Amino acid sequence: MLPNSNIVALQTDLSETKKYASLKENDLHIWQVSLTPESAMLKMCNSVLTSEDKEKVKWFKFEEDRNNYIISKGILRLLLVDYLKSNNSELVISRQKKGKPFAENDRSFFFNMSDSGKVCVYAFTRVSEVGIDIEEKRLLHDLDELIQRNLTNKEQDFLSKNPSEKAKNFFRFWTIKEAYLKAIGEGMRLTPDNLEFSIENGNIKLMNQQGIPEQENWIIQEFSPKTSYFGALVYKNENTRILS
Ligand SMILES: CC(C)(COP(=O)(O)OP(=O)(O)OC[C@H]1O[C@@H](n2cnc3c(N)ncnc32)[C@H](O)[C@@H]1OP(=O)(O)O)[C@@H](O)C(=O)NCCC(=O)NCCS
């Protein structure tokens, strides 16, 4: 489990962006921001959105969703501008064929983001493609159905062995699978039961995958950005230094 000291928690004055948004060769940075609206941060984030983003904002029915969108997208742009030493007006975020975002300004710079509940997290690196996913622990009324639909037989067996931790272990598999699908850029093209992971003894291993070319050397790490949140990070290269 990646310690929380390795995650930069962005405060409302955003001063950390200038302090930490710079990568050395093997660095991978994880940031987290609270999606609880704070007017100064909202204003700052709104000011850097593209006209397309601002158009999208208008379509949200609920203020909470609108604010989440403004903060998550605004912080992404603010951080990218600092990492890429660019200007907001010059920053162009495009998407790969299956939806994974990238910065047109620098194709050797990789990032990914995820939000759940009131938290949004980001990963930035030059080491390799990266995937990050978080989920807030919550009551899932359809837990058994989700387990059957998304986990392989072996993964389901693992959950059955420890019934008191069933929900917890489901969230762990869920974030690991999503982070992996996001690292390889596949998103929803693969269904989660195409992938099989083992999470025994805290060692996470990819055991099997169907429908995509063999991929090697992905490193999978879990983290918890906050109490009751599960998180997983997927990247390549043993020498990567994850730090705040
Ligand atoms: C992208 C995806 C993989 C994850 O989405 P999600 O968990 O709903 O949302 P997250 O906040 O974690 O991530 C969304 C962000 O990932 C990024 N993303 C989108 N497509 C992506 C892709 N193909 N590859 C990598 N990243 C992608 C984007 O930044 C996106 O934010 P945006 O759409 O606001 O720009 C999506 O395809 C999905 O809905 N997967 C669900 C798969 C599933 O059923 N999992 C259950 C596992 S048990």
Residue 147 has pLDDT above 80, yes or no: yes
Q: What is the pLDDT of residue 137?
A: 96
196 CB near ligand 1 (under 6 Å): no
For atom 25 of ligand 1, the residue with the nearest CA is 182
Residues 6+ apart with CB under 8 A from 181: 131, 187, 188, 190, 192, 195
CA distances from 174 to 135, 148, 219 (A): 8, 12, 16
Q: What is the pLDDT of residue 214?
A: 67
Please report where in the chains the tokens 């359809």 appear, as a residue: 142
Instruction: Look at the alpha carbons of 206, 208, 210, 216 in this order and tell me if their dihedral is positive or negative.
Output: positive
117 CB near ligand 1 (under 6 Å): no
CA atoms within 13 A on the CB side of 168: 10
Q: Yes or no: say if 234 and 185 are a contact pair by the CB < 8 Å rule.
A: no
For atom 33 of ligand 1, the residue with the nearest CA is 99
Name the residue among 78, 88, 110, 85 with its Cα closest to residue 10. 78
CA of 116 to the centre of ligand 1 (A): 11
Q: What is the pLDDT of residue 191?
A: 74
CA of 132 to the centre of ligand 1 (A): 9
pLDDT class of 48 with cuts at 50, 70, 90: very high
227: three-class secondary structure by DSSP: coil
Q: Which domains does the chain have, with CATH numbers?
A: 1-244 (3.90.470.20)
For 48-52, 116-120, 123-127, 237-241, which range has the lowest pLDDT when averaged over its residues? Answer: 237-241
Q: What is the pLDDT of residue 200?
A: 87
98 CB near ligand 1 (under 6 Å): yes
For 15-19, 49-53, 89-93, 184-188, which range has the lowest pLDDT when averaged over its residues? Answer: 15-19
CA of 138 to the centre of ligand 1 (A): 19
CA of 187 to the centre of ligand 1 (A): 6
Among the atoms of ligand 1, which is closest to the Cα of residue 174?
A: 48
Q: How large is the average pLDDT for residues 79-85?
A: 95
- DSSP letters, 61-95, are SSHHHHHHHHHHHHHHHHHHHHHTT--GGG--EEE
CA of 191 to the centre of ligand 1 (A): 12
Task: Return the best residue to mutate from 93, 138, 188 for the ligand 1 pocket (most ligand atoms within 8 A of CB).
Answer: 188
Q: How large is the average pLDDT for residues 10-16?
A: 79
Residues 6+ apart with CB under 8 A from 53: 69, 73
**Percent of the chain beyond pLDDT 70?**
97
Residue 57 has pLDDT above 60, yes or no: yes
Q: Yes or no: say if 189 and 98 are a contact pair by the CB < 8 Å rule.
A: yes
CA-angle at 145, arms to 180 and 143, nearest 5°? 75
- Structure confidence by residue, pLDDT tens digits, 202-244: 789 999 888 777 677 899 999 999 999 999 999 998 778 886 4
CA of 181 to the centre of ligand 1 (A): 8
CA atoms of 7 and 112, how far apart (whole Å)? 14
